Amino acid sequence: MPTFPEDVLARTKKGELEVRSLLDRGRYVRYNYLHPETGEPMEGGKVKLVLIRDSGEREEYFIIPTKSRRDLLIPAAEKGERKIWDGGKPVGL
């Protein structure tokens, strides 16, 4: 049985110990959708989260606000390269 350093251990609500274990590392891009005529957010505040691993692989999720004020995270199909508006110009992910 492996021995883990104290600083990687966490305690659950039930009081059990668990180990925080790295799955992967990378960067992320988060963007929302705006109405092209008004510039106001569309679709109730939906946000897209793109996780980009150091290996270049991507995972995409929609973050959807709910009435209960808890956001819903829904997996989305990976759409490949695209441009997003940074407030002044189109930029790649």
Rounded Cα distance, 79 and 60, in Å: 8
Closest among 64, 56, 47 to 26, alpha carbons compared: 56
Contacts 24+ apart (CB under 8 A), 58-61: none
Domain borders along the chain are 24-87
Q: What is the mean pLDDT of residues 61-76?
A: 91
Sign of the C-alpha dihedral computed for residues 64, 24, 78 and 80 taken in this order = positive
Confidence (pLDDT) at 60: 95
Give the pLDDT confidence of 5-32 residue by residue, as tens digits.
999 999 999 999 999 999 999 999 999 9
Confidence of residue 84 (pLDDT cuts 50, 70, 90): very high
Banded model confidence at residue 66, pLDDT cuts 50, 70, 90: confident
Torsion region of 39: left, alpha or beta (phi above 0 gives left; psi -120 to 50 gives alpha): left
Within 13 Å, how many C-alpha atoms sit on residue 18's CB side? Answer: 9
Q: In this predicted model, what pLDDT tens digit does every residue of 38-63 receive, in sequence order?
A: 988 887 788 999 999 999 999 999 99
d(CA 24, CA 45): 28
